[in-house]
Structure 1
């Protein structure tokens, strides 16, 4: 209250308005903003002009109107010596070049190449008169029938011009950004492959260095390895010969034992048969009995 009494009425009113706006949490226009009319504010919004109380210009959807987009960098060109096949004829059949920008046009949509030949002969106004007269002739003679739906062509042309001049800049910028993202993705893949190739090259270089370091001692190590292999082969052969000789000796021993056992069995069988034959004879029994009686008598005496 003291500040409002000491200050001028305009300053006091501004202080009170700002205080109320801060207390309520909503932006309240100042006295300078109130001087601007409603339709003038709308015009400021469309043009992107800030109001007296605004510190930054508002963002308008028409900021990109009538702007020509230009890429920050050109598209990568195909190398001159690139061939997808050795038989490709680049002289008569070169690779088609992708234009970075559309060709120059007149009247927003007509190619400039249509006007240049006439302009060299008739001057600047000649192409316009020629195409205008040609259009009037075609319509007048009904070679181009301009029916009741023909006015839609004019509407579509106007719609195309409005879209191209209002959001064409943003569409081109968005498409270029998507293209750069896609190119960046493929570059990332290429970098990954190159990274693997570089790592493989470094590993190969280290292996080459290790092989070079072993080059001097390699013959000695090979000689020692060969000697060890020969020694192992010799020991294996000796063991094989030993086992084979032992197997043959065991076979001969078993054969001799079987032969001796067979001879003994046959001899015992023959002896038993002869004894039994002798014992079974009568005179042998009598002789044996008489002999036994004589021995008993001699024992008794």
Structure 2
């Protein structure tokens, strides 16, 4: 028995290979799909796309990364209003030597995060750029060496606090400043709204007065003679009313003076008549008057 029968023939192997190759060609895997084109990407694909700033399928805009505002400097969209040059609270104020203080838009420039730039400028003009740093560095070293500036046990934590401040200011400083500015604008808008509400009546009155004045001017321009006659008539009526009032007041005062004079005269006449009768003792009126007085005194003494 020949072993050649057990060995596969080359034609059979070729046919098998050709069938396998054709099968693989028929069921070959599709081309690689990008993660942003997948309908439902998995968690890690979403994270990768978010860090790359690539929008997912169906998103119109790229996602906003949390690190987009890092290391940004905030600037106000509008500058503060300047003081008018011709404004004076008093005519004698000297604006040249004593100008009005203006609020700066931004804090003064600093170096090393806390040292004013004005400290470095005088040295820099003489020693160059490195002179101020060497001076302040040497001064700090001298203070530390001579123990004029003593560090505590926790002094090394100052570096950590500085690093913490830098991280916060560089990471959320821009967002914080932007939020504070928006809140400030909303607060100012609220107070302006209150002022507008308080002045609403005044504004409406001013508008109505302007309309009335305009209409009156138009009437004057259209009917000047009638307006003049009406004004003259009103003036004459006012004069007549004032004259009548003056005469009525005069009559009232005259009658009051007459009544007052008659009253005083009658009182004086009666008083003089009684006094004259008592002095002349006609009909024993004086004795009768004295007896009545004595009786009243006795009655009062008895009661006491």
SS in 2 for 1:128: helix
The match for 1:243 is none
Match of 1:74 among 60, 79, 97: 79
> Given the superposition, is the C-alpha separation of residues 90 and 14 from structure 1 closer, same or farther in structure 2, using an over 3 Å criterion?
closer
The match for 2:154 is 149
> Given the superposition, is the C-alpha separation of residues 171 and 52 from structure 1 closer, same or farther in structure 2, using an over 3 Å criterion?
closer
Is the contact made by 2:53 and 2:65 (CA closer than 8 Å) also made in structure 1?
A: no
C-alpha distance in 2, partners of 1:183/1:52?
A: 38
C-alpha distance in 1, partners of 2:231/2:192?
A: 48
- 1:217 maps to 2:226: yes
The match for 1:28 is 41
TM-score scaled by length of structure 2: 0.54
How far off is 1:70 after superposition? Answer: 1.7
What aligned pairs does 1:47-62 form with structure 2 within 5 A after superposition?
Answer: 48-50=51-53, 56-62=61-67
C-alpha distance in 2, partners of 1:223/1:90?
A: 53
What aligned pairs does 1:208-247 form with structure 2 within 5 A after superposition?
Answer: 208-221=217-230
Tell which deviates more after alignment, 154-163 or 123-132: 154-163
Match of 1:9 among 6, 23, 29: 29
Is the contact made by 2:55 and 2:62 (CA closer than 8 Å) also made in structure 1?
A: no
- 1:84 maps to 2:93: no
What aligned pairs does 1:103-142 form with structure 2 within 5 A after superposition?
Answer: 103-142=108-147
The match for 1:203 is 212
Structure 1, gaps ≥5 residues long: 22-26, 231-301
C-alpha distance in 1, partners of 2:178/2:89?
A: 32
The match for 2:257 is none
Match of 1:65 among 70, 76, 81: 70
- 1:165 maps to 2:185: no
C-alpha distance in 1, partners of 2:189/2:33?
A: 57
Number of aligned residue pairs: 207
Structure 2, gaps ≥5 residues long: 1-24, 241-304
CA RMSD of aligned residues (A): 4.0
Per-residue CA deviation, residues 163-220 of structure 1 (Å, 9 max, x unaligned), is 2211111122223223333444566546966954455333322233234444311354
SS in 1 for 2:52: coil
Is the contact made by 1:108 and 1:161 (CA closer than 8 Å) also made in structure 2?
A: no
TM-score scaled by length of structure 1: 0.55
C-alpha distance in 1, partners of 2:33/2:228?
A: 103
Per-residue CA deviation, residues 62-88 of structure 1 (Å, 9 max, x unaligned), is 221111112222111111122334454
Is the contact made by 1:103 and 1:111 (CA closer than 8 Å) also made in structure 2?
A: yes
How far off is 1:131 after superposition? Answer: 1.4
How far off is 1:221 after superposition? Answer: 4.6
C-alpha distance in 2, partners of 1:207/1:165?
A: 66
